[in-house]
């Protein structure tokens, strides 16, 4: 499953954002695994900001979770 949301504000372009949520489910016999990701991209005048979460579930129970935050200079973009 994948969902994308794009938010744009007419008078404040730096308030724009992109959100993407993905979920993949694998099941065979006793094996039941799911991976979920959530990412968000925003920006300022000088940087892009990317945040995200990756979750792994085993039989519906949280097995592992990682979160990250990164920033990248716009370099004239």
Are the C-beta atoms of residues 49 and 67 closer than 8 Å to each other?
A: no
Calculate what percentage of the chain has a pLDDT beyond 70.
99
The confidence score (pLDDT) of residue 41 equals 97
Mean pLDDT of the chain: 94
What is the DSSP secondary-structure string of 6-53? EE--TT-GGG-EEEEEEEEEEEETTEEEEEEEEEEEEE-SSEEEEEEE
Residue 14 in this model has a pLDDT that exceeds 70: yes
The confidence score (pLDDT) of residue 77 equals 63
Residue 48, token pair as written in the block: 């892009």
Region 60-69 average pLDDT: 98
- pTM for this one? 0.84
Reported confidence tier of residue 43, pLDDT bands at 50, 70, 90: very high
């Amino acid at each position: 499953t994948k969902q994308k949301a794009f938010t744009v504000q007419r008078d404040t372009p730096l308030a724009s954002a992109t959100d993407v949520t993905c979920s993949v489910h694998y099941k065979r016999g006793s094996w039941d695994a799911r991976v979920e990701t959530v990412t968000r991209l925003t920006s300022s005048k000088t940087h892009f900001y990317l945040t995200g979460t990756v979750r792994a579930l085993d039989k519906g129970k949280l097995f592992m979770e990682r979160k990250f935050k990164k920033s990248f200079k716009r370099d004239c973009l």
